[in-house]
Amino acid sequence: MQWFIAAVIENHILPVDICKKLIDACGDNVDLVTLAQKIIDDGLCPDVDKIQTVAEYAYNQAGGGQAPPMVFSIDNQMPPLENISGLSDQDLGKLMLQMLNAVCSISASDLHLSANSVPFLRLNLKVEKFGTHVLSAEDAYRLNTILLSPESKACFDQVKDLDFAMSVGSGNRVRCNLMEHKDGVAGTYRMIPEEIRELHSLGFPKNICDSITKMLDHNNGLILVTGPVNSGKTTTLAALVDIMNKKRKDHVVMVEDPLEIIQPSLKCNVTQREVGSHTKSFATALKGALREDPDIIVIGELRDLETIEMAITASETGHLVIGTLHTNDAASTLDRVLDVFPPSQQQQIRTMTAGSLRGIICQRLLPRKDGGLVAACELVIANIAVSNLISEGKTHQLKAVMQTGMRQGMCPMDQSVFDLFDQGIISYETTVANITNGEYLNKVQLKLATDAAAVGAGAIDRNKKKGWF
């Protein structure tokens, strides 16, 4: 069982915190088969073959020597940082890579290394201490710059800001941001998934997956993937490109800052460009892309007026354009796209967007009751009603259109959150905090009352069978 737990954590099948909850629920003396079956029965890993493979590996390893320890504390994953000043550059580089791989192994999303502070990481949306050693300004500078090339280090020393991505071994990639603040240098390291996941494995329901897949069949138009920071937009964007890469025969031009998930060329010719290394800016890359015989253009972030205007224009001229925005819902996404333009252009842009928009995927990550995160999503499919709202400037009515368009595959965010609550995946507190529609709040209260009545009736029935009544 110890070999099994170690392999499950090492292969990123389940995070450390969920493994600990499993052991707490089953007891330290649980056998391997029972534990593996519980993971499958609870829906923690839908890939039964993967669980069986790991179980067979653990069974074979069990007769070969000392079992690995049951390590569940995240602090136990942190390599020692007390002697950074005494390490050579080579040894410090190895220590930094060890730390980044440790963060990946416990399924944390971010690592923060800042001067005059202990390291922190973000695990299941919460920031937690990672170790106890306070980094001095000198140690923070060395640790955060040890993996940089001489050119990148010189650039950071001059500009005091740097964005880049790199491979850290074992198939793991990390997106990094370095900056200087009042106490010294700070680095933020975002863990990038080592594999391209399919939409259903990200938590999207089957009907939403089907609607998104149909949306990707268009040869032109604009698709927006939106959500707040730490909502999984990059992972979803990679899943969309993967779908097209497997079913279409096109040229895909991707522009990112920096390059995150690497896409191999399968049926499509996929060209990935990094802002800074391969092109000056998103707008410059987009201008160039129009002369590179593209069928599909993927923009890592629609940041400014020029980029948004060119994306809309490209979507009108025979290209399928997919881009991301930092917005909370579909209505605010459209407002963000349209309001960036001066008043004299807005009516023209509204007309262009109304004609080119194919859909909006808006998502957020919510904490699961059993640990980990689950995606809630809002899906807008552009139809005549949606186009009319955009051209008339009535985006505040979009939620009503989504309600009436659910049969066409649309899904309001409140419906997605309620479905997760109805399935027992998220808690009542999380549900109430993420629903804004009073009708759905009433449905939540009704379900609570219905469930309570069912539990009471079941208890009475069991007591009758015991002869207590």
In this predicted structure, the answer to whether residue 467 has a pLDDT above a threshold of 50 is no
Higher pLDDT, 455 or 9: 9
Confidence band for 63, pLDDT divided at 50, 70 and 90: low
Strand ranges (DSSP E) for 300-372? 320-325, 357-367
Task: Supply the pTM of this predicted model.
Answer: 0.78
pLDDT score recorded for residue 28? 64
Dist CA 469 CA 466 (whole Å): 8
- Could you tell me the CA-to-CA distances from 128 to 73, 294, 387 in Å, in that order? 12, 44, 45
Average pLDDT, the chain: 87
In this predicted structure, the answer to whether residue 460 has a pLDDT above a threshold of 50 is no
pLDDT in tens, 38-54: 888 888 887 888 888 88
Residue with tokens 């971010």: 110
Residue in 77, 75, 54, 70 with CA at minimum distance from that of residue 22: 70
Higher pLDDT, 212 or 65: 212
In this predicted structure, the answer to whether residue 72 has a pLDDT above a threshold of 80 is no
Dist CA 104 CA 348 (whole Å): 47
Residues 200, 209: contact at Cβ < 8 Å? yes
DSSP 228-253: STTS-HHHHHHHHHHHHHHH---EEE
In this predicted structure, the answer to whether residue 156 has a pLDDT above a threshold of 90 is yes
pLDDT in tens, 404-450: 999 889 999 999 999 999 998 899 999 999 999 899 999 999 988 88
Residue with tokens 């707490």: 24
Exposed e or buried b for every residue in 165-186, given b needs 16+ CB within 10 A? bbebeeebbbbbebbbeeebbb
- Could you tell me the CA-to-CA distances from 372 to 13, 44, 137, 365, 425 in Å, in that order? 12, 10, 34, 10, 10
DSSP label of 397 = G
pLDDT score recorded for residue 468? 40
